[in-house]
Amino acid sequence: MFLVMAVGWVARRRGYFSPETTRSLSRFVVDVAFPALVFVQLFKTVDVSALRERWYIPLLGAALILSGHFVGAVTAPLFVAREKRRTFTFLVGMSNWVYLPLPITDALYGWEGIQTVLLVNIGGQAVLWTVIVGSLRGGRPNGETLRNLLLNPGLWATALGIGLALCAPGLKGCLEMRLAEAPAGVLAVKAILQPLELIGSITIPLSLVVIGAQLGDAQLGDAARAGNATAGWLPRFDRGVTGVLLARLIVAPLVFVGLVLALRHSGARMLANPVEACCIMAAMPSAVSCGMFVERFGGDTSLAARAVLYTTFVALLSVPALFALFLGLGL
């Protein structure tokens, strides 16, 4: 993962990607490749029994984001001035719960890990466009944020993928049927599903390249603000960045794990692999898209860029360490 991200970072630093190219690729991943992945994976893996066993995962997704937001709101006064607290809280609450966990959970749990990430995204997106964006704006969400939620391509792909899987389960065999044996109706279905599957398959590598390019963008922007061509290579920590690192990468994951342990202690029945995957997602760094949200809805863009940069790099060490701790706690 780190090496693939490094490709994007080098491409941005050497000028192969412009800021406009990076933004366009990011939009393509979010609006095209990821929805294609969501639709095909949910269509292939969801059935009535899976939903009956995993109905709680979207709720865990909402709890994951809300617990991080709560940690950010509580710790913000300790690290930043009043005018930066909304940005600080947003950075702690807005973890990278999709594009970094996808390759990790795929490697650990296969289709079950990918399915967990996609189901978590349902609850995560609902909280993002209501509570989280509303807090960043300094008040309640307005019509624009609610409209963004309702028109989100990933959520539409989720609804369509689950709906088709439940309404027409017999179509799942179409993807495995040989072309020479397939009737005309099956060929028509394959003609739609196979291109979507190919487009969805580039989501993970392309998203990692884009993350690397966006991190390179953050470094170049930090250097420009400092008026120093080498500043983008040097760590520039302040109290706010340190606070985001501690709250996002340590406190928020531990709070979420505490919530999961409390639920299990109360007798809630949850499958082991999805719970482990959710705990991995809780340990993720601040989402790279935080800078875009902060710029769009108001906030400290310098703090956002540096926090995203350093939480991503520190997460290379903190996530494996926390995962080992989670397993030690019996998750």
Per-residue pLDDT tens digits for 59-101 = 999 999 999 999 999 999 999 999 999 999 999 999 998 888 9
Dihedral sign of CA atoms 207, 118, 44, 107 in order: positive
Helix (H) or strand (E) holding 174, with range, is none
- Write the CA distances from 121 to 64, 279, 286, 311, integer angstroms: 10, 14, 15, 21
What is the pTM assigned to this prediction? 0.78
State the sign of the Cα–Cα–Cα–Cα dihedral 293, 295, 300, 303. Answer: positive
Q: Which domains does the chain have, with CATH numbers?
A: 2-326 (1.20.1530.20)
Q: How far apart are CA 215 and CA 207, in angstroms?
A: 12
Q: What angle do CA 256, 260, 266 make, to 5 degrees?
A: 145
**CA-wise closest residue to 84 among 285, 220, 241:** 241
Phi, psi (degrees; rounded to nearest 5) at 119: -75, -35
Q: Give pLDDT tens digits along the chain (331 positions).
A: 788 888 988 998 898 988 888 888 888 888 888 889 888 888 887 788 878 888 899 999 999 999 999 999 999 999 999 999 999 999 999 999 888 898 999 999 998 898 899 899 888 888 888 888 888 877 666 666 677 767 778 888 888 888 888 887 777 666 666 666 667 666 777 788 889 989 988 888 888 888 788 778 766 655 545 554 444 444 556 899 999 999 999 999 999 999 999 998 888 888 889 999 999 999 999 988 787 788 777 788 788 878 888 898 899 899 999 999 888 877 6
